[in-house]
A and B are shown apart, each in its own frame.
Chain A
Amino acid sequence: MSETTASGNIDVAMGRHIVSPDSETKETIRVSTTEMDTHPVFALEDVSVYYGAFRAVRDVTLPVRPREITAFIGPSGCGKTTVLRCLNRMNDFVTTARVEGTIRYHGVDMYDPAVNSTEVRRRIGMVFQKPNPFPKSIYDNVAYGPRLMGTKKKADLDEIVERSLRGAALWDEVKDRLKETGLGLSGGQQQRLCIARAVAVEPDVILMDEPCSALDPIATARIEDLMREIKDRYTIVIVTHNMQQAARVSDRTAFFTTEINPESDRRTGVLVEFNPTEKMFSNPDDERTEQYVTGRFG
C-alpha cells in the first residue's frame, strides 16, 4: 500500500486519492470518483464545524478507507480533533457545536435526525488522549460494553474479555489480576486497557484522539505496534501531534492547518492535503504540507 510512485498518474490508476489544488485558491480538495465508488467507511464532503458562530474548521472533504490507518496531523487549533469527534458524534455533547456538509458512514448520512447516536458509537469506538479506565476491575472494564449489548453468560464474557485483552497485547500482563482495579495499572497499560475495552464491543471503526501523548516513549511504541496488529480488523483514524508517529503508523495522512479568518481575526482550521503517508512525507503536493513535515513551522 505504501508504494513510492514517480508520478501522480500511477496514483490515479491505483485508485488512490489525488490532490489537485484548485487553480485559484489552492485550498480546496477534489476527490477522484474512483475513490468514492469503492465504498469508503467515511465520506466527508464539504464539512465545516461551527461552535456557535465561530467556524472551527472548514471545507473538509476526504474519504476514510476500510482497514487502513488514517492519520490527521497539523498544528494545534487546526480542527483535527474536532473533525475526529464528529466521526462518532461525540461533538453532540457540545451544545453549541454544529456540523455543515455531509458525513457519510457506509453511505448513511450520520447527522440524519433519524440516526441514533448511541448506535453510532457502538460501531465507532473511541480511545481518548488521557487514559480513562472505569474505576472498576480490569475484567469489568472490558466486559462493560458487551454487558450493555446483552451478553450475560459468564462463559461468554470470559471469552470476550480474554480475546479483547489479547487483542490489546495486555492479556499476559494482567491475566492473573483481572479482578484488580484498572486504575492500578501504569499509564501505558491503562491505555491498552482502554483499547481492549473499545475492541470488546467489536466495533467497525476505532477513533484515537492523540492516544499516546500522555505516555512515555516505550509505552508509545507498544501502542503503535498494537495499532499495526489490529489494523486488519478495524478501520482506525488517529489524531496525532507527533508527525513521526503518523509517518510510522498510518497508511494515509490528512494535513490540516490554521488560517486567520479576516472577518473575526480568529483562526479557522482547513484541510490542506490528503494523501498516502509515504507521499505526504517525501513528496507532498502542497507547499504548506512540506513546510510542516520538514519542521519549518508548527
Chain B
Amino acid sequence: MALTTPSDAGATAREVIAASLHRRDRDVRGIVLATLLLAATAATLVILVTLLTQVIGESAPYLADRGTEFLTTPIGSNPDQIGIWSGLYGSIGIGVIVIIVAIPMGIAAAIYLEEYADQGRRVTQLILVNIRNLAGVPAVIYGVLGFIIFVKWLDPITSGDTVIAAGLTMSVLVLPIVVITSMEAIRAVPQGLRDGGYGVGASRWEVVRDHVLPYAAPGILTGTVLSLARALGEAAPLIIVGAITGFLPETTLTEKFTAVPILIYRWSGQPQPPGSEFSFTAAAAGAGVVLLVLVLFFNASAIYLRNRFEKVRVGQ
C-alpha cells in the first residue's frame, strides 16, 4: 500500500465531492407532487368513508327499530311498517338465474375461445372484440334488450315482466364479464400441464376437464363472484324490464317483481307520509345497508379468493 500523503488539492476535491453527495436538495416540486398524489388518494378514501358513514348513519335508527322484520316484510305505503322482502325475493331470484344461466355459458365460451378456437383467425378475433365491446355497453341498454327479448318475445317462457325475465336480462349483462375473467384464468394455466395431458394421449376435452378447469377454478370462481355482485347491484336494466316500485301484491316467479336496488331508487325520493315516525329515505338507507353488505361481501370474497390462490400458485 502506497503511503502517499494526499496533496492539498486532492483533499479539497474529496471534501467537495463528499459535500455534494450529502447535500439535500430542496426538491420543492417533488414534495408538492408527492403531497398532491397522497392527498388525492386520501381524499378517495375519505369519499368512500363518507359515503358509508352517510348510509349507515341514516339507516341506524331505522334498522334498530325495525330489526330483522325489515328483511321479511313486504313493501307498502308506511315506512314504519315496510320491509324489503319483495325486493329480496326478486334479487335472490335474479342471482339464482344468473348462476344457472350466465356462469356455465360464460365458462363454456371462455373454454372455446382459449382451448378450441384458432386464435389467428379473423372470426375468433372478431368474437373477442365483440365481447370486449359488450362489456362496455351501458346497463340500461341491456334493459332494453331484455324488455324486447325476454318480456315480449319469450313471454310464453317468462310470463312477461317477471323475475325470470329480469334474471335472464341480468345474465346477458354479466355474461361478458364472466367470459373475460374466465378466459384470463384459463390463460394462466401453464402450458406444461396441458402438454403432460396430451403426452399421455388425453383428448382435448379430457385435458380441459381434468387439468385446465381444476387449475383455473379459483380464478373462474373469482369472476363468478364479481359478476354476481354486479348483477345484484344494478337497477337501470330492471326499470326498463318493468320492475315494480309501488304496491306488489305477492312475490312469485311468474308475476310482477321488484328488486332491492329498485326499492332504494324509489324510496330515496319518496316524501315522508304524514304521521309516520320514519321517512322513506331512512328505509332507503336501510335497504342500502342490506345491499351494501351483500355486494361488498361478494366483492371482498372475490378479492380474498384471488389473493389466496395467487399465493398458492406462486408458492408452488
Contacts and interface: CB of A to CB of B under 8 A. Distances in A.
A and B touch in the complex (CB under 8 A): yes
Interface of A: 88, 90, 93, 95-96, 118-119, 121-123, 125-128, 130, 132-135, 144-145, 148-149, 183, 194, 197-198, 200-201, 203
B316 interface: yes
B206 interface: yes
Contacts of B316: 135, 183
Contacts, number: 70
Contact of A194 (B196, B206, B210): B196
Q: Which 6 A-B pairs have the closest CB atoms?
A: A122-B201, A132-B192, A126-B199, A145-B200, A121-B201, A118-B203
Contact of B201 (A130, A132, A145): A145
Nearest to A134: B196
20 contacts: A90-B198, A93-B198, A118-B201, A119-B201, A121-B200, A122-B201, A125-B199, A128-B195, A132-B193, A133-B196, A135-B214, A135-B215, A135-B316, A144-B200, A144-B210, A148-B202, A149-B201, A197-B200, A198-B200, A200-B200
Given A95-B120, A144-B210, A148-B206, A134 B193 contact: yes
Nearest to A93: B198
Contacts of B214: 135
Interface residues of B, number: 22
B254 interface: no
A263 to B, nearest CB: 23
Contacts of B120: 95-96
B196 to A, nearest CB: 4
- Of B198, B210, B211, most A-chain CB atoms within 10 Å: B198
B119 interface: yes
Contacts of A95: 118-120
Given A95-B118, A96-B120, A148 B196 contact: no
Interface of B: 118-120, 190, 192-193, 195-204, 206, 210-211, 214-215, 316
A156 to B, nearest CB: 17
Contacts of A121: 198-202
Contacts of A130: 192
A231 to B, nearest CB: 19
Given A128-B199, A144-B200, 18 more contacts: A95-B119, A95-B120, A96-B120, A118-B201, A121-B200, A121-B201, A122-B200, A125-B201, A126-B195, A127-B199, A128-B196, A132-B190, A134-B193, A134-B211, A135-B316, A145-B200, A145-B202, A197-B196
Nearest to A123: B201
A263 B6 CA distance: 66
A95 B121 CA distance: 9
A226 B97 CA distance: 56
A148 B210 CA distance: 10
B306 to A, nearest CB: 18
Contacts of B190: 132
A194 B201 CA distance: 13
Contacts of B202: 118, 121, 144-145, 148
Nearest to B211: A134
Nearest to B121: A95
